[in-house]
Amino acid sequence: MTPVAVAIISWNTRDLLSQCLQSVLRERPAEVIVIDNGSADGSSDMVRQRFPGVRLSVNPHNPGFGAAGNQAFAQTSAPYLLLLNGDTVVRPGGLEAMAGYLDQHPAVGVVGPRLVHPDGRLQSSCSSFPHPLLPLVKSKGLTRLIRHIPVVRDRVLDTWRHDSPKRVPWVVGAALFIRRRAFEAVGGFDESFHLYFEEPDLCRRMLMAGWETHFAPVTDVIHVEGASTQQRPSEVLWAWAESYRRYNERHFEGSRLVLARRTYRWGMRVRWCREWVRCALTLDPDARSRHIAYAGVWARAAKLAREP
């Protein structure tokens, strides 16, 4: 098997991080490193005490997923690197299966495994590149609806069965198996994306450089979705909105950029209205406060998105 390094990016997921490390160490990778993004829950002390053989790099603050990913590559040397969130668990034989897939597909720069919830339910593991009309055609509610329409479900990357290898635009960052040579060829992650859209940006730049991205269900990775992000919901919403705007500005031009800017503003305003409607319909004071805070995020995003 080609040597594999594993890097786990963690923020305040101490107990889940412990489970992740146990699953990774059973696979006997060539290198293991934890990049801690300024956790305040004792994650670093836990790693030092329970896993003294694991390399630990602690950031004093959270520089973002992409920056931590770049640190992971800079501090490892194996030809392949599995980049994991701290809230994941690797199945037995997973590293060998993914390494074997890259060995057999030399044109692939990134491969993503099948992601599942702890109860075995499927998670969306790959998706299409963001489109200028994204706010009009993509939402969690619409995705849930599509899952119940068989004819449509299997034609949409977010909802298809995830039962066979496929070349895809990009794969979800909870578990990214990356070829070092491809990663370095495009300069790694763009660190201006603090959170969200790092994966489609990276895979899009790899595609432009001649590298493919594949989804391959050769193994499952258990992912406790949102273990970190749910701890700071308003900040996460803002990071999503800002990264989404940045992606548009980076990858679209001309009429497509004009369209992307307009639909972005429309999408932020719709979200603002939605939160105020929800606020008006609930009597729970905590829920009202939450909806008001979310509305403030969307209002701020819409204001910053005004055309020059």
Is residue 195 domain-shared with residue 273, that is, in the same domain?
no
Domain extent at residue 134 = 4-227
Which of 193, 227, 261 corresponds to the end of one domain? Answer: 227
Instruction: Give exposure, 86-114, as e/b (b: 16+ Cβ within 10 Å).
Output: bbbbbbeebbbbbbebbeebeebbbbbbb
243 within some domain: no
The tokens of 242 are what? Answer: 């800002």
Question: Dihedral angle at the C-alpha atoms of 198, 204, 207, 213, nearest 10 degrees?
Answer: 50
Which pLDDT does position 134 carry in this prediction?
Answer: 65
Which pLDDT does position 137 carry in this prediction?
Answer: 52
Which of 171, 192, 227 corresponds to the end of one domain? Answer: 227
214 within some domain: yes
- Residues 62-94: pLDDT tens digits? 999 999 999 999 999 999 999 999 999 999 999
Which pLDDT does position 161 carry in this prediction?
Answer: 83
Is residue 199 domain-shared with residue 132, that is, in the same domain?
yes
- Residues 171-185: pLDDT tens digits? 999 999 999 999 999
| Spans of the chain, pLDDT less than 50 | 308
- CATH number for 19: 3.90.550.10
Q: Is 233 exposed, middle or buried (0-12, 13-18, 19+ CB in 10 A)?
A: middle
Is residue 258 domain-shared with residue 210, that is, in the same domain?
no
246 within some domain: no
The tokens of 47 are what? Answer: 């790693």
Is residue 24 domain-shared with residue 124, that is, in the same domain?
yes
| Distance of alpha carbon 299 from alpha carbon 268, whole angstroms | 7
Which pLDDT does position 304 carry in this prediction?
Answer: 81
Which pLDDT does position 224 carry in this prediction?
Answer: 93
Is residue 37 domain-shared with residue 131, that is, in the same domain?
yes
Domain count, the chain: 2
Which pLDDT does position 147 carry in this prediction?
Answer: 65
Is residue 29 domain-shared with residue 137, that is, in the same domain?
yes
Is residue 179 domain-shared with residue 258, that is, in the same domain?
no
- Residues 134-165: pLDDT tens digits? 655 555 655 666 666 666 666 666 777 889 99
126 within some domain: yes
| Distance of alpha carbon 76 from alpha carbon 57, whole angstroms | 12
Which pLDDT does position 273 carry in this prediction?
Answer: 95
Which of 194, 227, 260 corresponds to the end of one domain? Answer: 227
